[in-house]
């Protein structure tokens, strides 16, 4: 039995907001062809000519533009000062049925009932950009009964993975490099102090995970048209049986965001690359065999993972 314990705190909301002022962030999102094609396909399939749409968090205005090609009217809202770009690009591209408004969605009172909310509020850890609070708030105040949310179906995962050898970063005290043994630091309290909450996590790009060792199951799965904030569990106790033997390097976090008409945006670490990265909760689990059982507790809101146990067969 091995035991690892850690937690990680949420990026604060203000930091997220400032990060979206960064031009490069918007360029990266627009360059994500997987993301853009999923939205274009779903908006084309699901938005109707009589619809009034709110694009919650319009950024560059791209989703408002796509919705405007299909809908009667679109309200493109964003809290960021970057909204000047959306306003100008939509106006000069003759998107005449789009109204651009700088506002936080929680203060937005649409002038007419809303048939569709379009959004891209998914953080790499799904909930870490305030997705649930902002969508539920706008939905409950503004969406018509039977109204639609694009994307609607959300699933969050944290599963055991092996990394490609060139992506591994061993813990310092496990290093014996070129004859130098860092294990001598193992009991040093000054090192222990450096292992704060953030120490235990890192991010990887698609392609750095070699294999997922379990049969993935969502920690939480919810429908944005019906979920209430109180429905989200505070913690989930996960049990996973290892189905592929390998080195247990980490638990990898990913999400799926599904549209009613079919497209599913996934950040599965072996799926086609998107701009989202995968958060990794680092483990030094060593080798695991088929049939070994892994237990861990996931804090769902401010994502954290605690009490990891491996029971070897």
Ligand X SMILES: C[S@@+](CC[C@H](N)C(=O)[O-])C[C@H]1O[C@@H](n2cnc3c(N)ncnc32)[C@H](O)[C@@H]1O
Q: Which is nearer to ligand X, 29 or 98 (CB)?
A: 29
Cross-strand bridge partners of residue 177: 180
Cross-strand bridge partners of residue 102: 78
CB of 287 to ligand X, least distance (A): 38
Rounded (10°) angle between helices 23-31 and 33-46 = 70
- Is 263 one of the binding residues for ligand X (CB under 6 A)? no
Residue span binding ligand X (CB under 6 A) among the ranges 102-110, 175-183, 230-238, 295-303: 102-110
Q: Which is nearer to ligand X, 121 or 162 (CB)?
A: 121
Q: Within 161-220, which residues bind ligand X (CB under 6 A)?
A: none
Report residue 18 as tokens: 């400032």
CA 94 to chain centre: 33
- Is 120 one of the binding residues for ligand X (CB under 6 A)? yes
Question: Strand, helix or coil at 274?
Answer: coil
Q: How many CB atoms lie within 10 A of CB 216?
A: 17
- Is 105 one of the binding residues for ligand X (CB under 6 A)? yes
Report the catalytic residues: 120, 129
Sheet with strand 73-78: strands edge to edge: 98-102, 73-78, 52-56, 114-119, 143-150
Q: Which is nearer to ligand X, 86 or 252 (CB)?
A: 86
Residue with tokens 């991010």: 203
Number of residues that bind ligand X (CB under 6 A): 20
- Window 61-100: contact mask with ligand X (x via CB under 6 A): -xx-------------xxxx--------------------
Cross-strand bridge partners of residue 4: 308
Q: Residue numbers of the site for ligand X (CB under 6 A)?
A: 17, 20, 29, 57-60, 62-63, 77-80, 104-106, 120-121, 130, 134
């Amino acid at each position: 039995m091995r035991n690892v314990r850690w937690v990680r705190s949420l990026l604060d909301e203000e930091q997220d907001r400032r990060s979206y002022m960064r031009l490069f962030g918007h360029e990266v999102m627009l360059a994500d062809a997987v993301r853009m094609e999923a939205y274009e396909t779903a908006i084309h399939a699901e938005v109707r000519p009589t619809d009034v749409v709110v694009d919650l968090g319009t950024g560059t205005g791209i989703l408002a533009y796509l919705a405007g090609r299909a809908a009667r009217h679109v309200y493109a809202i964003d809290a960021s000062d970057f909204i000047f770009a959306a306003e100008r690009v939509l106006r000069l591209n003759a998107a005449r049925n789009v109204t651009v408004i700088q506002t936080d969605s929680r203060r937005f009172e649409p002038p007419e009932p809303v048939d569709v909310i379009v959004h891209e509020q998914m953080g790499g850890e799904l909930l870490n950009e305030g997705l649930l609070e902002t969508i539920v708030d706008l939905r409950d105040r503004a969406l018509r009964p039977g109204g639609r949310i694009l994307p609607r179906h959300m699933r969050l995962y944290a599963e055991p993975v092996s990394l490609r050898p060139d992506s591994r970063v061993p813990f310092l005290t496990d290093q014996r490099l070129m004859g130098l043994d860092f294990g001598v630091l193992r009991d040093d309290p000054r090192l222990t102090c450096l292992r704060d909450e953030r120490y235990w996590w890192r991010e990887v790009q698609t392609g750095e995970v070699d294999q997922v060792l379990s049969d993935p199951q969502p920690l939480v799965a919810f429908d944005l048209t019906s979920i209430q904030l109180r429905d989200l569990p505070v913690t989930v106790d996960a049990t996973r049986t290892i189905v592929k033997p390998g080195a247990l390097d980490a638990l990898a976090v990913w999400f799926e965001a599904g549209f009613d008409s079919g497209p599913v945006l996934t950040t599965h670490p072996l799926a086609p690359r998107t701009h989202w990265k995968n958060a990794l909760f680092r483990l030094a689990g060593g080798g695991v065999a088929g049939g070994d059982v892994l237990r861990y507790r996931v804090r769902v809101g401010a994502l954290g993972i605690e009490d990891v146990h491996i029971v070897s067969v």
